[in-house]
């Protein structure tokens, strides 16, 4: 896998040269000159718990991507990722994006390949632009990052086909309605379908004023594992309600996500994990098993500019309930500052208080500092 990715990236680096030569020899080039970009994130995190303090430096991730157009109407993107820890499938070098989209019509764009699931406002956001030390818990657990169903870390992505578009343009040229709907394998990135069933995911939002979006999303599907002749398929019935206002550096966003469906006990990180069919269970403080076929979460955040395009003050309330009750519920209260030296360099700081009902001692705190570089 590592050799394959390295070979792929070397080929990607050669593409701009090929496209440039074509542009010089053709009046209407088939390929526009590809754009090479990426980013890198390194962090320091200290956690203060009764069970024992910890602190560590971490090379969070490095991404490299190439994007461009073919015959003007077809947009493509290929993106790879390397993490500091390469010991598991969830954090080894891997391909995250590989898709092409026909973009000739504003009201109908067709995308095919591996890309972000069209679920929630936060899922499609770049990890740097998202602004905090991680995506919110509801998005992480219910959109395919470290999903509660047990699939391998997939960065909110899957393999499939998607249709999207915009309607109702106002006098200023701004569209008022957006839709997106897609059909996906349901297994996450870089793997084939298992149960021959597909996930149907879609969303719609209105934009009544500049910068404001109000949307709703739905997800009907399943996640499956197979061991020998036995296969277990777990349903995923999910919906999300979302609102966001974004104007320049100002971001205000809140989302509620609800899920029906159980999860496997072991997260898929190695090949043998994909054959573990054990279902995850939860118990309350008295040791009684609690129904775990429902989960939900809610977050609300604000990123407010103190110095325009330089210094931002941020805060977030972040709740995830793996049983849609207080059993196992985890709440983060976060506050911090982000400083942008330039568009290529940003430092993000954060202090979080956590209440985790799954631990014997519920409360602890975390200090987080991250340096992000774009190129």
pLDDT of residue 24: 43
Position 93 scores a pLDDT of 85
Q: Which of 205, 201, 202 is nearest to 177 (CA)?
A: 205
H-state helical runs in 178-308:
none
Residue 3 is predicted with a pLDDT of 52
- What is the Cα–Cα distance from 232 to 222, expressed in whole angstroms? 10
Residues 6+ apart with CB under 8 A from 231: 194, 195, 224, 225
Q: What residues does 244 pair with on adjacent strands?
A: 213, 253
Question: Is residue 28 very low, low, confident or very high in pLDDT (cuts 50, 70, 90)?
Answer: low
* Burial zone of 287 (CB within 10 Å; 0-12 exposed, 13-18 middle, 19+ buried): exposed
pTM of the model: 0.89
pLDDT category at 52 given cuts 50, 70, 90 is: confident
Which fold would CATH assign to domain 2-374?
A: Porin (2.40.160)
Look at phi and psi of residue 50 and say left if phi exceeds 0, alpha if psi is from -120 to 50, else beta: alpha
Check whether 70 has a pLDDT greater than 90.
yes
Query: What pLDDT does residue 91 have?
Result: 60
Q: Which residues contact 100 (CB under 8 A, 6 or more apart)?
A: 70, 74, 75, 76, 111, 112, 113
pLDDT digits (tens, 9 = 90+) for 74-122: 999 999 998 876 555 556 688 999 999 999 999 999 999 999 999 999 9
Which range (29-33, 250-254, 301-305) has the least confidence?
29-33
**Structure tokens that stand for 212 in this block:** 């404001």
Range scoring the smallest mean pLDDT among 45-54, 152-161, 308-317: 45-54
Q: Which of 62-66, 144-148, 271-275, 317-321 has the lowest mean pLDDT?
A: 271-275
Distance separating alpha carbons of residues 111 and 108, to the nearest angstrom? 10
What residue spans define the domains of the chain? 2-374
């Amino acid at each position: 896998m590592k050799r394959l990715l390295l070979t792929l990236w070397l080929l990607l680096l050669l593409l701009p040269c090929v496209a440039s030569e074509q542009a010089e020899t053709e009046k209407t080039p088939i390929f526009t000159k590809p754009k090479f970009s990426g980013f890198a994130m390194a962090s320091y995190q200290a956690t203060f718990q009764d069970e024992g303090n910890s602190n560590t430096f971490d090379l969070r991730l490095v991404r490299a991507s190439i994007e461009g157009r073919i015959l003007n109407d077809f947009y493509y993107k290929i993106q790879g990722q390397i993490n500091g820890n390469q010991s598991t499938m969830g954090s080894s070098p891997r391909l995250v994006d590989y898709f092409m989209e026909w973009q000739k019509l504003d009201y109908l764009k067709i995308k095919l390949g591996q890309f972000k699931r069209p679920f929630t406002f936060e899922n499609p956001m770049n990890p740097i632009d998202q602004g905090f030390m991680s995506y919110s818990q509801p998005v992480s657990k219910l959109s395919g990052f470290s999903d509660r169903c047990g699939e391998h870390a997939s960065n909110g992505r899957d393999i499939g086909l998607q249709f999207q578009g915009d309607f109702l343009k106002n006098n200023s040229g701004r569209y008022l309605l957006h839709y997106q709907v897609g059909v996906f394998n349901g297994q996450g990135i870089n793997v084939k379908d298992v149960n021959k069933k597909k996930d149907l995911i879609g969303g719609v939002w209105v934009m009544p004023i500049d910068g404001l979006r109000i949307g709703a999303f739905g997800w009907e599907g399943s996640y499956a594992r197979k061991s020998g002749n036995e296969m277990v398929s777990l349903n995923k019935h999910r919906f999300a309600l979302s609102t966001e206002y974004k104007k320049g550096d100002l971001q205000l966003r809140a989302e509620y996500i609800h899920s029906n469906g159980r999860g496997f006990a072991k997260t898929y990180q190695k090949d043998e994990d994909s054959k573990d069919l054990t279902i995850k269970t939860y118990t309350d403080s008295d040791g009684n098993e609690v129904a775990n076929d429902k989960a939900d979460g809610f977050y609300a955040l604000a990123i407010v500019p103190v110095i325009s395009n330089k210094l931002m003050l941020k805060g977030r309330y972040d709740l995830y309930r793996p049983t849609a009750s207080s059993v196992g519920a985890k709440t983060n209260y976060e506050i911090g500052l982000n400083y942008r030296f330039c568009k290529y360099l940003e430092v993000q700081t954060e202090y979080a208080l956590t209440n985790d009902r799954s631990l014997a001692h519920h409360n602890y705190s975390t200090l987080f500092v991250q340096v992000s570089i774009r190129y």
